[in-house]
Amino acid sequence: MELENKVRRYYQLKQKQKEIEGELADLRNDITAHCAEQEVSDWEIGNYRVRIVQQHRKEYDHAKLYDALPDPQLWRLFSKPDYSKIASLLKLKVIADEQIKDAVSHKTVTLLQVDKK
């Protein structure tokens, strides 16, 4: 396949991906809204099982995190907050939760899982 054809196909697939992601978002919103209205988080419909899972995530404020880290060498380890690197530094006790507490906010994310029975 020549390069122009590959570029064309790539473009077509990216457009299709955007359409699919948009439709998935709409369906996800409809399903999670229905579950919220019915106050259910685990539900079977036809041959499918729907589960709503709440996940809690940390989000770091870039500026506050920079101010909270006294050692510029630590800051150079990541140009933007990298959650796995921050978690590793906390686990290794290179930094303490107390140091960065003002740079962290907690976010709850609703995940939708649909499995076929």
Length of the chain: 117
The pLDDT value recorded for residue 106 is: 83
Q: What is the mean pLDDT of the chain?
A: 85
Beta bridge partners of 106: 58
pLDDT in tens, 56-112: 888 888 778 777 877 777 766 665 677 788 888 889 888 888 888 888 888 888 777
Average pLDDT of 26-51? 92
Average pLDDT of 30-38? 93
pTM, entire model: 0.54
